Amino acid sequence: MQQRDAEAAQQALRDAIDLADLRSKAREAGLDPDEVVAGYEKLRDSQVSPDDVLKRLGRAAITG
């Protein structure tokens, strides 16, 4: 079941992301669009897993 969920998530990433929109939203959030797109592509291409991302976010400093 977990494998099926991971495959479904990967397919959703491939199908749903408009890179121009992603870049625009990154700029609006004050993020580097190139880094955001690179992160998306790593997820999409299975270079990192969603769990890896969650772990990294958990260790990231919260600013605001």
Task: Report pLDDT for 14.
Answer: 67
What is the pLDDT at residue 15?
62
pLDDT grade for 44, boundaries at 50, 70 and 90: confident
**What mean pLDDT comes out for the span 43-53?**
83
Residues in Cβ contact with 41 at an 8 Å cutoff, skipping those fewer than 6 apart = 47
User: What is the C-alpha separation between 25 and 8, in angstroms, rounded?
Assistant: 24
Residue 16 is predicted with a pLDDT of 64
Sign of CA dihedral 43, 47, 48, 50: positive
Q: Which residue in the block uniquely carries the two structure tokens 């408009």?
A: 18
Coil/strand/helix, residue 17: coil
Q: Structure tokens of 56?
A: 């990294």
